[in-house]
Structure formats: structure tokens, C-alpha cells
Copies of this chain bind each other. A is one copy, B any other.
């Protein structure tokens, strides 16, 4: 197995590119894919101040590392979700990464700062934990970026993530979600710009980036996500990808290029006003995050302790 670039010994194959790479040229390949994504979808301008949503997993740490490599002014924000040992360990990986490189890691802790955690919110709302988790992340990353004047929030969604989300949206034919599934969402009043610079890298590649760059990361999947539909969609696409490498990338990129415009949201959006509690944009009086906080911290909301098991 020889490196496509230098013909030296390869350390990894990337079947969808029909290529093998040595260590140095694999790292080049990853940087190049991120550079291309940023340029093609006009995600960032040179020197932009970027807030990276850091979970302590391979994708967010690789993203932070690569964006620094490419010369952006990046800070990380870690969100303590209160998901037992999983969150404790994730926080350690995020902090160690930042400390070893002298980088600034901001932290928000759901329990300390807002009085609830994801398992408790799931119980209080009687919905899947991923719902309260996603809502909290969107709200807190957005408001942190706006409060401190960042040019964009960057998240570590990779090609596998985006293809699986697209597959889920297609299985349900949700035209609204299909219209919004873009690797860059421009800033609009009350919302910062949001970008996904890793969409041209598969998750095997972000993992390999971390291994080769000696970045320790949380390997466990979130125990609350085990068995959710998203992971099922990923696995189904993986079965097809193994048979026909490149199918996943074509599915996602052809959608963005040719099909997404058919789902463009031309209908007038509901007018947004400011949440009376926190000032975030909302269609009602109080935003969904403030409602969640109220519900999850109501007396009795967490009467039954939630047990989390790490596999």
C-alpha cells in the first residue's frame, strides 16, 4: 500500500477517493478537504474569529486543531451536559487538549449555570435526551458567539453525520429540514453564522487525524444516544458505502448542488421577537431554551434519579 502522493509506505486508505496516504500526506489531505469546504461554501474569511463547539470527541478536537493549522483565530466552548461519567471524561479530554496547547477553552455547565442536566431534562420533558441536548447546545453556542462577537460558530459534523441526517430527513421527507440542511447557515438577526468545515471528511478520517496528531479524545459514544435512529441511518449507509465507496459523498454533495434548491424555504418565515427572559430570538414570548430550563428545574422534575451506564 503506497502513498498516492510520494509512493512512500501508506498508513491509511481512503476508499471513496481510491487513495492511500502516508502520515504527512494524509494530514495534508485532511487540511485540503477542510480548506476546500470552507472555500466552496464560503464559510469563513481569512483571520475570522471562530468559536468551536467542543465536545471532547474526535471531530470537535480535530476541527479545532485543523482550523488553528489553517490560521483562524479559534476559541473552544465546552458544554457540561451532566451525562454521568461520559460528560466527566469528555470534559477532561477537552481541557487537556486546550491546556497542552495553551488555548482558551470556555466552559458552560448546564447543572452549575442553569440548574439542570440532560438526563433530568429528558425526564422532565418526557422526550428523548437528544432533543433537550441539541436545543441546549444550539442556544448556548449561539448566545456565547453573539455575546462575544465571534464571526461564526463551527461544529464538527463530518460527512457521515451529514449523510445520515440527510438520510433521516429523506426517509421522513421533511421538506423544512431538507431546506435547511446546509454546511453554512448565514448570520441573521439573533443568530450567528454557523459552519461545518468537516463535511468533506469521513469520521474514520477525523479519528485518524487525532491518532496521528496524538490527540486523546473521548472514544465512547454518548450513552444516551445508543440505539437512536441517527446511528441506525449511519449503519445503513455504511453497509452501502462498503459495497460502493463514494456513494455517501455523492448522496450528500449532489443533494447540496442540485436538489436542495427545490426545497428552498421561500415561504415567509414567522416573525421573530426577543425572548422576554433571555433576549434570544423566538416566535413566542419565551424561547424554547428558557422554557426547558423552567420545566427541568421545576420542583419534583427530577424526583426519580436517572441511571446512566457507560458501555
Contact = CB atoms under 8 A, between A and B. Distances in A.
Contacts of A239: 232, 235-236, 239
Interface stretch (A207-215, A254-262, A296-304): A254-262
Interface stretch (A107-115, A152-160, A165-173): A165-173
Number of copies of chain A assembled together = 2
A235 to B, nearest CB: 7
A294 B240 CA distance: 36
A168 to B, nearest CB: 10
A5 to B, nearest CB: 30
A229 interface: yes
Interface of A: 170-173, 175, 229, 232-233, 235-237, 239-240, 243-244, 247, 250-251, 254-255, 258-259, 262-263
A52 to B, nearest CB: 31
A230 to B, nearest CB: 11
Contact of A258 (B173, B244, B247): B173
12 contacts: A171-B247, A171-B250, A172-B251, A172-B254, A173-B254, A173-B258, A175-B258, A229-B243, A229-B244, A232-B243, A239-B239, A262-B262
A173 B254 CA distance: 7
Contacts of A236: 236-237, 239-240
Contacts of A259: 173, 175
Q: Which 10 A-B pairs have the closest CB atoms?
A: A236-B236, A173-B254, A171-B251, A262-B262, A173-B259, A236-B239, A232-B243, A170-B170, A236-B240, A232-B240
